[in-house]
Amino acid sequence: MDRPDRVRPDGARAGGERRFAPGDVVVRREILHGEVWFGCPTVCVEDSPDLLVLYLPPGTRFGFPETGRFPCGRHPWQVAGHRAWTGHGKLMLHRPGEAHSVDVFWTGPGRAFAGWYFNLQEPLRRTAIGVDTLDHELDLWWAAGAERYVWKDEALFAQRLVEGRYPGTGPAIRAGGERIAALLDVGERWWDEAWSAWRPDPAWPVPVLPAGWESLPPAG
């Protein structure tokens, strides 16, 4: 399997292709009000026409641009001093055009499956080095063994609306979460539950952000 280091020093992927191979570094950036706000390197697990699977290993360091307007302030993780992913890594499952990912979490020394996390976000837009999106704060969590999901960060989502993070799109974001909830309520499972047992390639190093990751213009 390819190792996650196939990004040129100038930040562009060799060949300029938009499709990533297993093991490639895929830079996931958040774009807020037209400027890069946050970035983290992930590892491509699968990139097919129907599914993009990214892995965020433990110890992966985040990136925060040094300059910008930042009308809603700096990224909350930067403010909180959260500089790297801790605990077990997480897997992120994306279907094209969907405004959420299905994230897989593990817990404990035995890396037991912890549950499914439905992360509301802008649909992914591909770049030469990865994907651009924006987290929508509002999420749903279905813990392993639980009878039902729970909503997460509803109060924080309301606060972000007041701060102007999602101008004019708050109702649509909430409606997207309601659609996910409705599908779960009728037993729909649009992801393969076998991902709960997935394990990363132990040969993969912790990925790092390529030089110039924050300078690439936002996609779309």
Do the beta carbons of residue 45 and residue 54 sit within 8 Å? yes
Beta bridge partners of 43: 25, 55
What is the model's pLDDT at position 214? 96
- Check residue 202 and report its DSSP letter: T
Which own/partner contact pairs does 131-134 have at CB distance under 8 Å and 24+ positions apart? 131/26, 131/27, 131/28, 131/29, 131/52, 131/54, 131/219, 132/29, 132/30, 132/31, 132/218, 132/219, 132/220, 133/28, 133/29, 133/30, 133/31, 134/30, 134/31, 134/32, 134/37
- CA-nearest of 33, 27, 1 to 13 is 27
Each residue's pLDDT tens digit, 183-203: 999 999 999 999 999 999 999
Kindly state the tokens that stand for 105.
């979490």
CATH top class, domain 14-189? mainly beta
**Residue 171 Rama label (left phi>0; alpha psi -120 to 50; beta):** alpha
Spatial distance between the Cα atoms of 143 and 107, rounded to a whole number of angstroms: 11
Domain boundaries, the chain: 14-189
Could you read off the pLDDT of 93-120 as tens digits, one per residue?
Answer: 999 999 999 999 999 999 999 999 999 9
Q: CA 134 to CA 29: how far, in whole Å?
A: 8
Average pLDDT over residues 72-88: 93
pTM: 0.90
